[in-house]
Structure 1
Amino acid sequence: MTGLLTEADGSPVAVENLEALSPVLLVCEHASRRLPEKMGSLGLSDDALESHIAWDPGALAVSQRLVRSLDAALIYQRFSRLVYDCNRPPEAEAAMPPVSEIFEIPGNAAISAAERLSRTQALYVPFTTALSDFIATRKADGQPPVLVTMHTFTPVYHGKQRDVEIGILHDNDSRLADAMLAAAGKTAGYVVRRNEPYGPADGVTHTLIEHGLKNGLLNVMIEIRNDLVTNEIGQKVMADYLTGILGESLDALSQ
Protein backbone atom coordinates (compact mmCIF):
# COMPACT_ATOMS: atom_id res chain seq x y z
CA MET A 1 0.00 0.00 0.00
CA THR A 2 1.23 3.53 -0.76
CA GLY A 3 0.35 6.92 0.68
CA LEU A 4 -1.05 7.38 4.15
CA LEU A 5 -2.09 3.81 4.94
CA THR A 6 0.20 0.80 5.33
CA GLU A 7 -0.60 -2.85 4.74
CA ALA A 8 -0.89 -3.25 8.51
CA ASP A 9 -3.54 -0.52 8.61
CA GLY A 10 -5.78 -2.35 6.16
CA SER A 11 -8.79 -0.90 4.40
CA PRO A 12 -10.17 2.49 5.47
CA VAL A 13 -13.73 1.26 4.95
CA ALA A 14 -15.61 -1.68 6.45
CA VAL A 15 -18.81 -3.11 5.02
CA GLU A 16 -21.24 -5.54 6.60
CA ASN A 17 -24.26 -7.42 5.28
CA LEU A 18 -24.27 -5.85 1.83
CA GLU A 19 -26.80 -8.44 0.67
CA ALA A 20 -29.26 -7.20 3.30
CA LEU A 21 -32.96 -7.67 2.60
CA SER A 22 -33.93 -4.41 4.33
CA PRO A 23 -33.62 -1.19 2.33
CA VAL A 24 -31.85 0.45 5.29
CA LEU A 25 -28.22 1.42 4.72
CA LEU A 26 -26.56 2.33 8.01
CA VAL A 27 -23.56 4.64 7.82
CA CYS A 28 -21.15 5.29 10.67
CA GLU A 29 -18.59 7.95 9.78
CA HIS A 30 -17.13 8.18 13.29
CA ALA A 31 -17.03 4.50 14.21
CA SER A 32 -13.39 4.23 15.26
CA ARG A 33 -10.72 6.04 17.27
CA ARG A 34 -7.91 4.15 15.55
CA LEU A 35 -5.10 6.15 13.92
CA PRO A 36 -3.07 5.04 10.90
CA GLU A 37 0.47 3.96 11.79
CA LYS A 38 2.06 6.91 10.00
CA MET A 39 0.00 9.43 11.99
CA GLY A 40 1.44 8.48 15.38
CA SER A 41 -0.69 10.05 18.11
CA LEU A 42 -1.29 13.41 16.36
CA GLY A 43 0.43 14.86 19.43
CA LEU A 44 -2.48 13.92 21.70
CA SER A 45 -2.59 12.08 25.02
CA ASP A 46 -4.15 8.64 25.37
CA ASP A 47 -7.06 10.20 27.28
CA ALA A 48 -7.78 12.61 24.43
CA LEU A 49 -7.59 9.82 21.86
CA GLU A 50 -10.07 7.74 23.83
CA SER A 51 -12.51 10.64 24.20
CA HIS A 52 -15.40 11.75 22.00
CA ILE A 53 -13.18 14.07 19.97
CA ALA A 54 -11.62 11.03 18.27
CA TRP A 55 -14.81 9.01 17.58
CA ASP A 56 -18.46 8.48 18.50
CA PRO A 57 -18.43 5.97 21.38
CA GLY A 58 -21.24 3.44 21.10
CA ALA A 59 -22.28 4.40 17.57
CA LEU A 60 -20.79 1.36 15.87
CA ALA A 61 -22.03 -1.04 18.56
CA VAL A 62 -25.62 0.19 18.18
CA SER A 63 -25.28 0.14 14.39
CA GLN A 64 -24.13 -3.48 14.41
CA ARG A 65 -27.14 -4.46 16.51
CA LEU A 66 -29.38 -2.70 13.98
CA VAL A 67 -27.72 -4.69 11.19
CA ARG A 68 -29.07 -7.81 12.85
CA SER A 69 -32.47 -6.54 13.99
CA LEU A 70 -33.33 -4.83 10.69
CA ASP A 71 -31.30 -7.03 8.32
CA ALA A 72 -29.66 -3.79 7.23
CA ALA A 73 -26.40 -3.07 5.42
CA LEU A 74 -23.65 -1.11 7.19
CA ILE A 75 -20.72 0.91 5.87
CA TYR A 76 -18.31 2.52 8.32
CA GLN A 77 -14.98 4.33 8.51
CA ARG A 78 -12.19 2.39 10.26
CA PHE A 79 -10.07 5.37 11.29
CA SER A 80 -10.52 8.35 13.57
CA ARG A 81 -12.33 11.45 12.44
CA LEU A 82 -9.31 13.44 13.69
CA VAL A 83 -7.37 12.22 10.66
CA TYR A 84 -10.31 12.85 8.30
CA ASP A 85 -13.94 13.42 9.30
CA CYS A 86 -15.87 11.61 6.57
CA ASN A 87 -19.00 13.65 7.34
CA ARG A 88 -17.24 16.75 5.99
CA PRO A 89 -16.20 17.69 2.43
CA PRO A 90 -12.48 18.03 1.66
CA GLU A 91 -12.62 21.83 1.50
CA ALA A 92 -14.00 22.14 5.04
CA GLU A 93 -11.52 22.92 7.82
CA ALA A 94 -13.53 20.57 10.06
CA ALA A 95 -12.58 17.66 7.80
CA MET A 96 -9.14 17.75 9.46
CA PRO A 97 -9.79 19.91 12.53
CA PRO A 98 -6.91 21.81 14.18
CA VAL A 99 -9.11 22.13 17.30
CA SER A 100 -11.88 19.85 18.56
CA GLU A 101 -13.97 21.14 21.47
CA ILE A 102 -11.33 22.13 24.07
CA PHE A 103 -8.48 20.12 22.53
CA GLU A 104 -5.87 21.47 20.15
CA ILE A 105 -4.76 18.81 17.66
CA PRO A 106 -1.01 19.38 17.11
CA GLY A 107 -0.86 16.89 14.24
CA ASN A 108 -3.52 18.88 12.41
CA ALA A 109 -1.92 22.29 12.80
CA ALA A 110 -0.80 23.95 9.58
CA ILE A 111 -1.46 20.93 7.36
CA SER A 112 -0.02 21.39 3.88
CA ALA A 113 -2.13 21.11 0.76
CA ALA A 114 -0.29 17.90 -0.12
CA GLU A 115 -1.05 16.40 3.29
CA ARG A 116 -4.72 17.34 3.02
CA LEU A 117 -4.88 15.69 -0.39
CA SER A 118 -3.15 12.55 0.93
CA ARG A 119 -5.66 12.18 3.76
CA THR A 120 -8.58 12.88 1.45
CA GLN A 121 -7.47 10.25 -1.06
CA ALA A 122 -6.68 7.67 1.62
CA LEU A 123 -9.81 8.00 3.75
CA TYR A 124 -12.60 10.13 2.31
CA VAL A 125 -12.51 8.99 -1.32
CA PRO A 126 -12.76 5.23 -0.58
CA PHE A 127 -15.50 5.88 1.98
CA THR A 128 -17.68 8.06 -0.22
CA THR A 129 -17.04 5.73 -3.20
CA ALA A 130 -18.24 2.73 -1.18
CA LEU A 131 -21.46 4.59 -0.38
CA SER A 132 -21.96 5.73 -3.98
CA ASP A 133 -21.35 2.25 -5.37
CA PHE A 134 -23.77 0.59 -2.95
CA ILE A 135 -26.48 3.15 -3.65
CA ALA A 136 -25.99 2.94 -7.43
CA THR A 137 -26.21 -0.85 -7.35
CA ARG A 138 -29.38 -0.87 -5.29
CA LYS A 139 -31.00 1.81 -7.46
CA ALA A 140 -30.11 -0.10 -10.62
CA ASP A 141 -31.83 -3.15 -9.10
CA GLY A 142 -34.95 -1.08 -8.44
CA GLN A 143 -34.32 -1.12 -4.68
CA PRO A 144 -33.31 2.40 -3.63
CA PRO A 145 -31.86 2.30 -0.12
CA VAL A 146 -32.90 4.30 2.93
CA LEU A 147 -29.90 6.22 4.27
CA VAL A 148 -29.52 6.26 8.07
CA THR A 149 -26.34 7.79 9.53
CA MET A 150 -25.46 6.91 13.11
CA HIS A 151 -23.74 9.18 15.64
CA THR A 152 -23.36 9.80 19.36
CA PHE A 153 -22.84 13.03 21.30
CA THR A 154 -21.58 14.01 24.75
CA PRO A 155 -23.97 14.64 27.66
CA VAL A 156 -22.01 17.79 28.57
CA TYR A 157 -20.70 20.25 25.98
CA HIS A 158 -18.60 23.27 27.00
CA GLY A 159 -19.84 22.82 30.56
CA LYS A 160 -23.54 22.76 29.63
CA GLN A 161 -25.70 19.72 30.31
CA ARG A 162 -27.70 18.36 27.39
CA ASP A 163 -31.09 16.93 28.29
CA VAL A 164 -31.95 15.68 24.79
CA GLU A 165 -31.27 11.93 24.55
CA ILE A 166 -31.86 11.20 20.87
CA GLY A 167 -31.63 13.71 18.06
CA ILE A 168 -33.42 13.06 14.78
CA LEU A 169 -31.63 15.23 12.23
CA HIS A 170 -32.44 16.13 8.66
CA ASP A 171 -31.59 18.65 5.97
CA ASN A 172 -34.09 19.74 3.30
CA ASP A 173 -35.82 16.35 3.12
CA SER A 174 -37.63 15.72 6.42
CA ARG A 175 -39.86 12.81 5.34
CA LEU A 176 -38.17 10.09 7.37
CA ALA A 177 -37.36 12.41 10.27
CA ASP A 178 -41.00 13.51 10.48
CA ALA A 179 -42.18 9.91 10.56
CA MET A 180 -39.64 8.93 13.21
CA LEU A 181 -40.52 11.88 15.42
CA ALA A 182 -44.19 10.95 15.11
CA ALA A 183 -43.41 7.35 16.08
CA ALA A 184 -41.23 8.48 18.99
CA GLY A 185 -44.03 10.73 20.21
CA LYS A 186 -46.19 7.69 20.88
CA THR A 187 -43.84 6.42 23.60
CA ALA A 188 -42.16 7.85 26.68
CA GLY A 189 -38.92 5.96 26.18
CA TYR A 190 -36.47 8.80 25.51
CA VAL A 191 -36.30 12.57 25.12
CA VAL A 192 -36.29 12.79 21.31
CA ARG A 193 -36.01 16.10 19.44
CA ARG A 194 -35.61 17.43 15.91
CA ASN A 195 -32.19 18.73 14.83
CA GLU A 196 -30.66 18.63 18.31
CA PRO A 197 -28.02 18.89 19.61
CA TYR A 198 -26.86 19.78 16.08
CA GLY A 199 -28.54 20.73 12.86
CA PRO A 200 -27.81 21.59 9.22
CA ALA A 201 -26.31 24.95 10.18
CA ASP A 202 -23.56 23.09 12.05
CA GLY A 203 -22.40 21.37 8.86
CA VAL A 204 -23.30 17.88 10.04
CA THR A 205 -25.50 16.83 7.12
CA HIS A 206 -22.81 16.36 4.47
CA THR A 207 -23.42 12.62 4.04
CA LEU A 208 -27.18 13.15 3.97
CA ILE A 209 -26.82 15.76 1.22
CA GLU A 210 -24.23 13.97 -0.92
CA HIS A 211 -25.72 10.50 -0.75
CA GLY A 212 -29.31 11.02 0.34
CA LEU A 213 -30.71 14.23 -1.10
CA LYS A 214 -28.75 14.06 -4.35
CA ASN A 215 -30.10 10.55 -4.97
CA GLY A 216 -33.65 11.31 -3.89
CA LEU A 217 -33.40 8.80 -1.03
CA LEU A 218 -35.22 8.80 2.27
CA ASN A 219 -32.57 9.83 4.76
CA VAL A 220 -32.03 10.70 8.40
CA MET A 221 -29.21 11.23 10.87
CA ILE A 222 -29.58 9.74 14.35
CA GLU A 223 -27.65 11.27 17.27
CA ILE A 224 -27.59 9.31 20.55
CA ARG A 225 -26.34 10.74 23.85
CA ASN A 226 -23.35 8.54 24.51
CA ASP A 227 -23.92 7.97 28.22
CA LEU A 228 -26.94 5.89 27.20
CA VAL A 229 -24.87 3.40 25.19
CA THR A 230 -21.76 2.82 27.27
CA ASN A 231 -22.46 -0.89 27.79
CA GLU A 232 -24.15 -3.80 26.06
CA ILE A 233 -27.41 -3.38 27.98
CA GLY A 234 -27.75 0.25 26.98
CA GLN A 235 -26.76 -0.54 23.41
CA LYS A 236 -29.36 -3.30 23.17
CA VAL A 237 -32.14 -1.16 24.65
CA MET A 238 -31.29 1.68 22.28
CA ALA A 239 -31.10 -0.61 19.24
CA ASP A 240 -34.44 -2.16 20.12
CA TYR A 241 -36.01 1.27 20.44
CA LEU A 242 -34.58 2.51 17.14
CA THR A 243 -35.59 -0.72 15.40
CA GLY A 244 -39.15 -0.06 16.49
CA ILE A 245 -39.46 3.57 15.42
CA LEU A 246 -37.53 3.03 12.19
CA GLY A 247 -39.70 0.06 11.24
CA GLU A 248 -42.90 1.90 12.08
CA SER A 249 -41.76 4.94 10.11
CA LEU A 250 -40.82 2.99 6.99
CA ASP A 251 -44.14 1.12 7.12
CA ALA A 252 -46.01 4.43 7.35
CA LEU A 253 -44.07 5.97 4.46
CA SER A 254 -44.66 2.95 2.22
CA GLN A 255 -48.45 3.23 2.45
Structure 2
Amino acid sequence: MTAPVEVLNAAGRGRVVLLCEHASNRIPAEYDGLGLSEADRASHAAWDPGARTLTLRLSRALDAPVVASTVSRLVYDCNRPPEAASATPERSETIGVPGNVGLSQQARDARAAAIYAPFCKAVAQVLDARGPETVLVTVHSFTPVYFGQPRAVELGLLHDEDSRLVDAMLDHVDHVPHRHTERNEPYGPADGVTHSLRLHALGRGLANVMLEVRNDLLRTDKQVAAMAQDILALLDPALKEIAIKEEAS
Protein backbone atom coordinates (compact mmCIF):
# COMPACT_ATOMS: atom_id res chain seq x y z
CA MET A 1 0.00 0.00 0.00
CA THR A 2 1.49 3.35 -1.06
CA ALA A 3 1.95 5.86 1.76
CA PRO A 4 0.07 9.17 1.33
CA VAL A 5 3.26 11.18 1.83
CA GLU A 6 6.92 10.81 0.94
CA VAL A 7 9.93 12.39 2.63
CA LEU A 8 13.03 12.66 0.47
CA ASN A 9 16.56 13.73 1.42
CA ALA A 10 15.44 13.90 5.04
CA ALA A 11 19.04 14.38 6.19
CA GLY A 12 19.61 17.34 3.86
CA ARG A 13 21.80 19.94 5.52
CA GLY A 14 20.64 23.01 3.60
CA ARG A 15 18.63 25.79 5.20
CA VAL A 16 15.52 25.21 3.07
CA VAL A 17 12.75 22.65 3.52
CA LEU A 18 10.62 22.06 0.40
CA LEU A 19 6.96 21.06 0.36
CA CYS A 20 5.06 19.83 -2.70
CA GLU A 21 1.43 19.38 -1.74
CA HIS A 22 0.20 18.69 -5.30
CA ALA A 23 3.02 16.44 -6.48
CA SER A 24 0.89 13.50 -7.65
CA ASN A 25 -2.33 12.74 -9.52
CA ARG A 26 -2.59 9.26 -7.96
CA ILE A 27 -6.09 8.30 -6.84
CA PRO A 28 -6.01 5.29 -4.49
CA ALA A 29 -8.19 2.39 -5.60
CA GLU A 30 -10.69 2.80 -2.77
CA TYR A 31 -11.86 6.10 -4.28
CA ASP A 32 -12.75 4.45 -7.61
CA GLY A 33 -11.14 7.18 -9.69
CA LEU A 34 -13.56 9.74 -8.20
CA GLY A 35 -15.69 9.11 -11.29
CA LEU A 36 -13.24 11.11 -13.43
CA SER A 37 -12.23 10.44 -17.01
CA GLU A 38 -8.64 9.50 -17.75
CA ALA A 39 -8.10 12.93 -19.29
CA ASP A 40 -9.40 14.69 -16.19
CA ARG A 41 -7.18 12.57 -13.93
CA ALA A 42 -4.17 13.66 -15.99
CA SER A 43 -5.13 17.34 -16.05
CA HIS A 44 -3.92 20.20 -13.86
CA ALA A 45 -7.12 19.81 -11.85
CA ALA A 46 -5.76 16.61 -10.33
CA TRP A 47 -2.21 17.80 -9.57
CA ASP A 48 0.44 20.42 -10.36
CA PRO A 49 2.24 19.15 -13.49
CA GLY A 50 5.99 19.58 -13.26
CA ALA A 51 5.97 20.65 -9.61
CA ARG A 52 7.50 17.46 -8.20
CA THR A 53 10.25 17.41 -10.84
CA LEU A 54 11.08 21.04 -10.10
CA THR A 55 11.03 20.36 -6.36
CA LEU A 56 13.51 17.52 -6.70
CA ARG A 57 15.86 19.66 -8.78
CA LEU A 58 15.72 22.43 -6.20
CA SER A 59 16.32 19.85 -3.48
CA ARG A 60 19.53 18.73 -5.15
CA ALA A 61 20.75 22.31 -5.56
CA LEU A 62 19.88 23.33 -2.00
CA ASP A 63 20.48 19.98 -0.24
CA ALA A 64 16.94 20.43 1.03
CA PRO A 65 14.59 17.87 2.56
CA VAL A 66 11.34 17.37 0.62
CA VAL A 67 7.88 16.50 1.92
CA ALA A 68 5.49 15.63 -0.92
CA SER A 69 1.97 14.27 -1.11
CA THR A 70 1.54 11.10 -3.15
CA VAL A 71 -2.25 11.52 -3.55
CA SER A 72 -4.21 13.71 -5.96
CA ARG A 73 -5.42 16.99 -4.56
CA LEU A 74 -8.90 16.04 -5.76
CA VAL A 75 -8.97 13.28 -3.15
CA TYR A 76 -7.68 15.71 -0.52
CA ASP A 77 -5.84 18.99 -1.05
CA CYS A 78 -3.04 19.13 1.53
CA ASN A 79 -2.87 22.90 1.08
CA ARG A 80 -6.35 23.30 2.54
CA PRO A 81 -7.65 22.83 6.09
CA PRO A 82 -10.25 20.13 6.74
CA GLU A 83 -13.04 22.67 7.25
CA ALA A 84 -12.56 24.15 3.75
CA ALA A 85 -14.92 22.90 1.04
CA SER A 86 -12.00 23.13 -1.40
CA ALA A 87 -10.16 20.42 0.53
CA THR A 88 -12.37 17.92 -1.31
CA PRO A 89 -13.71 20.00 -4.21
CA GLU A 90 -16.82 19.08 -6.12
CA ARG A 91 -15.49 21.07 -9.10
CA SER A 92 -12.08 22.27 -10.23
CA GLU A 93 -12.31 24.99 -12.88
CA THR A 94 -14.49 23.34 -15.58
CA ILE A 95 -14.06 19.78 -14.32
CA GLY A 96 -16.71 18.23 -12.12
CA VAL A 97 -15.61 15.64 -9.54
CA PRO A 98 -18.46 13.13 -9.14
CA GLY A 99 -16.74 11.25 -6.32
CA ASN A 100 -16.70 14.39 -4.19
CA VAL A 101 -20.34 15.39 -4.63
CA GLY A 102 -22.41 15.18 -1.47
CA LEU A 103 -19.66 13.79 0.74
CA SER A 104 -20.76 13.27 4.33
CA GLN A 105 -18.80 14.89 7.14
CA GLN A 106 -17.68 11.40 8.13
CA ALA A 107 -16.25 10.78 4.66
CA ARG A 108 -14.51 14.18 4.63
CA ASP A 109 -13.03 13.50 8.05
CA ALA A 110 -11.84 10.07 6.92
CA ARG A 111 -9.99 11.58 3.96
CA ALA A 112 -8.39 14.22 6.16
CA ALA A 113 -7.24 11.52 8.58
CA ALA A 114 -5.89 9.32 5.79
CA ILE A 115 -4.10 11.99 3.70
CA TYR A 116 -3.85 15.42 5.34
CA ALA A 117 -2.90 14.29 8.85
CA PRO A 118 0.06 12.12 7.71
CA PHE A 119 1.28 14.95 5.47
CA CYS A 120 1.15 17.48 8.29
CA LYS A 121 2.81 15.03 10.68
CA ALA A 122 5.67 14.48 8.22
CA VAL A 123 6.17 18.23 7.78
CA ALA A 124 6.16 18.78 11.53
CA GLN A 125 8.70 16.01 12.09
CA VAL A 126 11.08 17.47 9.51
CA LEU A 127 10.73 21.02 10.83
CA ASP A 128 10.89 20.04 14.50
CA ALA A 129 14.26 18.38 13.87
CA ARG A 130 15.73 21.62 12.54
CA GLY A 131 16.56 25.06 13.89
CA PRO A 132 14.77 28.42 13.70
CA GLU A 133 16.94 29.45 10.75
CA THR A 134 14.98 27.02 8.54
CA VAL A 135 13.21 28.50 5.51
CA LEU A 136 10.03 26.90 4.16
CA VAL A 137 9.45 26.87 0.39
CA THR A 138 6.34 25.30 -1.14
CA VAL A 139 6.37 24.46 -4.85
CA HIS A 140 3.32 24.63 -7.13
CA SER A 141 2.45 25.03 -10.79
CA PHE A 142 -0.55 26.64 -12.47
CA THR A 143 -2.31 26.35 -15.80
CA PRO A 144 -1.49 29.00 -18.44
CA VAL A 145 -5.18 29.39 -19.32
CA TYR A 146 -7.83 29.54 -16.60
CA PHE A 147 -11.54 29.75 -17.46
CA GLY A 148 -10.47 30.71 -20.96
CA GLN A 149 -8.26 33.59 -19.84
CA PRO A 150 -4.52 33.47 -20.66
CA ARG A 151 -2.14 34.22 -17.82
CA ALA A 152 0.95 36.30 -18.56
CA VAL A 153 2.73 35.73 -15.24
CA GLU A 154 5.36 32.98 -15.37
CA LEU A 155 6.63 32.89 -11.80
CA GLY A 156 4.56 33.91 -8.80
CA LEU A 157 6.11 34.55 -5.39
CA LEU A 158 3.34 34.21 -2.82
CA HIS A 159 3.31 35.11 0.86
CA ASP A 160 0.87 35.62 3.69
CA GLU A 161 1.58 37.88 6.67
CA ASP A 162 5.35 37.30 6.54
CA SER A 163 6.69 38.85 3.33
CA ARG A 164 10.39 39.12 4.22
CA LEU A 165 11.59 36.32 1.93
CA VAL A 166 9.45 37.43 -1.01
CA ASP A 167 10.56 41.03 -0.47
CA ALA A 168 14.19 39.92 -0.58
CA MET A 169 13.65 37.75 -3.67
CA LEU A 170 11.94 40.57 -5.54
CA ASP A 171 14.89 42.82 -4.76
CA HIS A 172 16.84 40.62 -7.20
CA VAL A 173 14.22 40.30 -9.93
CA ASP A 174 16.65 42.06 -12.30
CA HIS A 175 18.66 38.81 -12.23
CA VAL A 176 15.89 37.19 -14.30
CA PRO A 177 14.61 39.96 -16.60
CA HIS A 178 13.33 37.37 -19.07
CA ARG A 179 10.81 36.03 -16.52
CA HIS A 180 7.46 37.67 -15.84
CA THR A 181 7.62 37.52 -12.05
CA GLU A 182 4.91 38.87 -9.75
CA ARG A 183 4.03 39.04 -6.06
CA ASN A 184 0.93 37.05 -5.01
CA GLU A 185 -0.02 36.09 -8.56
CA PRO A 186 -1.90 34.32 -10.06
CA TYR A 187 -3.28 33.65 -6.57
CA GLY A 188 -2.89 35.24 -3.15
CA PRO A 189 -3.91 34.86 0.50
CA ALA A 190 -7.50 35.86 -0.25
CA ASP A 191 -7.80 32.74 -2.42
CA GLY A 192 -6.98 30.47 0.50
CA VAL A 193 -3.77 29.15 -1.09
CA THR A 194 -1.38 30.09 1.73
CA HIS A 195 -2.67 27.51 4.21
CA SER A 196 0.60 25.55 4.34
CA LEU A 197 2.60 28.74 4.89
CA ARG A 198 0.30 29.77 7.74
CA LEU A 199 0.18 26.35 9.35
CA HIS A 200 3.79 25.25 9.04
CA ALA A 201 5.82 28.47 8.81
CA LEU A 202 4.12 31.41 10.49
CA GLY A 203 3.62 29.64 13.80
CA ARG A 204 7.30 28.74 13.91
CA GLY A 205 8.47 32.16 12.77
CA LEU A 206 10.09 30.70 9.66
CA ALA A 207 10.77 32.79 6.57
CA ASN A 208 8.72 31.33 3.72
CA VAL A 209 7.54 31.57 0.13
CA MET A 210 5.06 29.73 -2.06
CA LEU A 211 6.36 29.34 -5.61
CA GLU A 212 3.79 29.25 -8.41
CA VAL A 213 5.25 28.37 -11.83
CA ARG A 214 3.24 28.34 -15.06
CA ASN A 215 3.14 24.69 -16.03
CA ASP A 216 3.80 25.14 -19.75
CA LEU A 217 7.29 26.18 -18.63
CA LEU A 218 7.87 22.82 -16.90
CA ARG A 219 7.15 20.36 -19.71
CA THR A 220 10.72 19.28 -20.47
CA ASP A 221 13.80 18.61 -18.37
CA LYS A 222 15.50 21.56 -20.07
CA GLN A 223 12.64 23.87 -19.08
CA VAL A 224 12.67 22.60 -15.49
CA ALA A 225 16.42 23.12 -15.25
CA ALA A 226 16.08 26.68 -16.58
CA MET A 227 13.28 27.53 -14.18
CA ALA A 228 15.18 26.08 -11.22
CA GLN A 229 18.19 28.17 -12.15
CA ASP A 230 16.06 31.32 -12.30
CA ILE A 231 14.40 30.58 -8.96
CA LEU A 232 17.80 30.05 -7.37
CA ALA A 233 18.99 33.35 -8.84
CA LEU A 234 16.32 34.99 -6.67
CA LEU A 235 16.36 32.66 -3.69
CA ASP A 236 20.10 32.29 -3.03
CA PRO A 237 20.85 36.00 -2.47
CA ALA A 238 17.60 36.39 -0.52
CA LEU A 239 18.63 33.60 1.87
CA LYS A 240 21.99 35.26 2.44
CA GLU A 241 20.40 38.62 3.15
CA ILE A 242 17.93 37.15 5.62
CA ALA A 243 20.74 35.30 7.39
CA ILE A 244 22.73 38.51 7.75
CA LYS A 245 19.72 40.33 9.19
CA GLU A 246 19.08 37.49 11.65
CA GLU A 247 22.68 37.52 12.82
CA ALA A 248 22.52 41.27 13.34
CA SER A 249 19.29 41.15 15.35
What TM-score comes out, normalization by structure 1 length? Answer: 0.94
Partner of 1:117: 109
Whole-angstrom CA distance in 2 between matches of 1:231 and 1:187: 20
Code of the residue aligned with 1:134 in structure 2: it is V
Code of the residue aligned with 1:227 in structure 2: it is D
Unpaired segments ≥5 residues, structure 1 = 1-6
Q: Where do 1:66-85 residues align within 5 Å?
A: 66-85=58-77
Q: Where do 1:15-54 residues align within 5 Å?
A: 15-54=7-46
Q: Where do 1:90-129 residues align within 5 Å?
A: 90-129=82-121
After TM superposition, give the deviation of residue 242 of structure 1 in Å.
1.3
Aligned counterpart in structure 1 of residue 171 of structure 2, from 170, 174, 182: 182
Whole-angstrom CA distance in 2 between matches of 1:72 and 1:186: 23
Whole-angstrom CA distance in 2 between matches of 1:27 and 1:144: 17
Partner of 2:186: 197
Code of the residue aligned with 1:224 in structure 2: it is V
Whole-angstrom CA distance in 1 between matches of 2:199 and 2:139: 16
Unpaired segments ≥5 residues, structure 2 = 245-249
Code of the residue aligned with 1:116 in structure 2: it is R
What TM-score comes out, normalization by structure 2 length? Answer: 0.96
Q: Secondary structure at the match of 2:224?
A: helix
Code of the residue aligned with 1:112 in structure 2: it is S
Q: Where do 1:5-20 residues align within 5 Å?
A: 7=1, 10-20=2-12
Code of the residue aligned with 2:65 in structure 1: it is A
In the alignment of these two chains, the number of paired residues is 244
After TM superposition, give the deviation of residue 178 of structure 1 in Å.
0.5
Partner of 2:247: none
In the alignment, structure 1 residue 146 sits paired with structure 2 residue 146: no
Q: Secondary structure at the match of 2:99?
A: helix
Moved over 2 A (4+): none
Partner of 1:215: 204
Deviation per residue, 1:96-121 (Å, 9 max, x gap): 00111011110000001111111001
After TM superposition, give the deviation of residue 15 of structure 1 in Å.
0.7
Q: Secondary structure at the match of 1:246?
A: helix
Q: Percent identity?
A: 48
Whole-angstrom CA distance in 2 between matches of 1:234 and 1:186: 17
RMSD after superposition = 0.9
Q: Secondary structure at the match of 1:130?
A: helix
After TM superposition, give the deviation of residue 187 of structure 1 in Å.
3.0
Q: Secondary structure at the match of 2:185?
A: coil
Whole-angstrom CA distance in 1 between matches of 2:199 and 2:235: 22
